[in-house]
Amino acid sequence: MAKDGWHALGPGILEPPREFSLCPFWFWNDDLTESELLRQMEDFQAHAVHAFVIHPRVGLPREIGWMSDRMLELLRFVVEEAAKRDMWVVLYDEGMYPSGSSSGQVVATNPLYKCRGLEKRIPRPLHEGEFLLAQGDGWEVIDRSIDSVIRGLHYVGEGPEEDTPPAADLLNPDAVRCFLEKVYERYFSALGDYFGTTIKGIFTDEPALLGRPNEPDLIPGTTDILSHVTRLTGEDLSDRLDRLWEPESEERAIYDRALQRRLHETYYRPLSDWCQAHGIALMGHPEHADDLATLCYFDVPGQDLVWRWVLPGASAVEGPQSTQAKNAASAMVHQGKRRNSNECAGAYGHELTFWELKWLFDWCLVRGTNMFFPHAFYYSVRGPRKDERPPDVGPNSPWWAGFGELAKYVSRLSWLNTDCEHDCEVAIVGPEDRLPWKAAKVCLQNQIDFVYLAASEVDSWRSRYRVLISEGVADVPGAVVWEDKDQLLSRLSELGVRTLDVESHPDLRVRRVMKNGVEVAMVHNEGSDSLELALPRPFRKLDVWKLSEGEPSDRLRLNAFELALLWEDR
């Protein structure tokens, strides 16, 4: 390779196209004016941000209600201005979250569309709308509508108390058709001439079967749910229904699998089909971080880093949340999509620092993420708005003056992670709805890159990967079965598996890609101590932030939390 690695990679690494811009959630959370919206858009662009998700958020005045004429008028204004400025836009499909209720409009249309659940209780007479599903000695299980809500768009008084619209039954196809009519069709009527150009997608946000319930000990359900369970799983649970309240029981696993498949039928597939028919991408993410099966319905498979669930240390490599970035990136590869996303930094708190924010981006990037929805840029931080799922990571943050450099840095690496060949020979096979993390931790901490593969996908992809590791699933022919760390490392060593022949360290992550004929290793020090490690031969280190490169060296030096690129002269 030529010494100037930047030009060898191509101009995209220096000045990536605007499709690789950060696309922050833009909280519309106060009385909106055209002049202020335009001023903020211009401020975004002055800081290298050329896209946004329009997210109506709590704090809006009631005069700008969900899908009101005034809201659609403001949406039209912003989209038109974005088109003039070569910006792109993603629409959000709910008045707050979780998605699927159109800020209570679905239930207002028909009370039978209200969220339903199963209750286990002492037997008593049924009320109207309650259906007996099973009974035993001193107990019965019924299906009924439940007291469940979503977050609302308006404060009660000056806040922070919020409106709470009723949640809809997402397992009822009629309720979901109503949701599509109330939101997606109205968007298309108002903005359809920008679909597929300025408007790139619609974001659906962690649809939850129970919404936000105000009652305890409920299990998701819908009318005639047991017939759907039998149809979708081949299992009749009618005489074992009381065991659903045992979280680790076989019956609960069967039931949850049926719920997931029914939700695919009633919610994700209709939304996906609608978006494809209207020339835009379905974006967003499912409710659970380790849900791989649902991601096939997204044109941009996505996940989200929220609530400080992932931080430097154990949480970066342990638990279901640690699987999410690899989950979405793996779905992108196996479904033939170009992009995968992460909605990051939501509710990380006012204590979030600039360098922690960069660490979250790097954590995702080295796992293959190539589209980012930072959470969030606030239109207003007046009154209680400042403390609503903080922090503002954009214009109202202490680091806004220097944000443009971070935005450019992430855009460069998002470009690198797109339309490239991922040099990876290991797949970890697990259940499609509960991805394993123990084998993944061992691989990550020993610089062995991998993708996730659902057991149902093994036959289609076996020839692509030299080594399969199975965890949590049985009968994967030829796979290395996870037992423990030492056993796995011994077997991988016997098979000669290594992503980069570098001195091992538990904080070092490695990802190799081929981009424009250039093989590059992305290396990230995920820990808080500096690293100096031996390399088998001299490599050049490329500083993506400063756009500088070092001389060839057989020592890899990485500061705390630093991410860099390595390549060797040919």
Mean per-residue pLDDT for 253-260? 96
Q: Which of 39-43, 262-266, 305-309, 471-475 has the lowest mean pLDDT?
A: 471-475
Asked whether residue 333 carries a pLDDT value surpassing 90, the answer given is yes
pLDDT confidence of residue 474? 83
Q: What pLDDT is recorded for position 500?
A: 74
| CA triple 321-434-360, angle to 5 deg | 20
Q: How confident is the model at residue 5 (pLDDT cuts 50, 70, 90)?
A: low
Is the pLDDT assigned to residue 352 strictly greater than 70?
Answer: yes
Give the pLDDT confidence of 85-107 residue by residue, as tens digits: 999 999 999 999 999 999 999 99
What local confidence, expressed as pLDDT, does residue 2 receive?
44
Q: Is 139 exposed, middle or buried (0-12, 13-18, 19+ CB in 10 A)?
A: middle
Q: What is the pLDDT of residue 3?
A: 47
Expressed in angstroms, the distance from the first to the final Cα of the chain is 5
Rounded Cα–Cα distance for residues 172 and 194 (Å): 31
pLDDT (0 to 100) of residue 496: 86
Given a cut of 90, is residue 12 above it in pLDDT?
no
- The mean pLDDT of 381-394, rounded to a whole number, is 97
The dihedral built from the CA positions of residue 380, 384, 389 and 394, taken in this order, carries a sign that is positive
Task: Look at residue 6 in the predicted model and tell me its pLDDT.
Answer: 72
Query: What local confidence, expressed as pLDDT, does residue 502 receive?
Result: 85
Evaluate if residue 10 carries a pLDDT over 90: no
On the question of pLDDT at 364 being above 60, the answer is: yes
The CA distances from residue 358 to 53, 59, 302, 507, 559, in Å, are 20, 28, 19, 16, 14
Over residues 498-540, the pLDDT tens digits come to 767 788 899 999 999 999 989 999 999 999 999 999 998 999 9
Query: Which superfamily is assigned to 421-567 in CATH?
Result: Golgi alpha-mannosidase II (2.60.40.1180)
177-203: average pLDDT: 98
For residues 466-476, average pLDDT: 92
E strands, 259-402, are: 281-285, 302-306, 341-346, 371-374, 377-378
Mean pLDDT of the 416-426 span: 95
Domain-wise residue ranges, the chain: 421-567
CA angle 441, 445, 450 (to 5 degrees): 65
- Taking 80 as the threshold, does the pLDDT of residue 570 lie above it? no
Backbone φ, ψ for residue 182 (5° rounding): -70, -30
Strand partners, 132: 142
Predicted model pTM: 0.96
7 — pLDDT class (breaks 50, 70, 90):
confident
* Of 499, 518, 520, residue with least CA distance to 510: 499
- φ, ψ of residue 440 in degrees (nearest 5): -60, -40
The mean pLDDT of the chain is 95
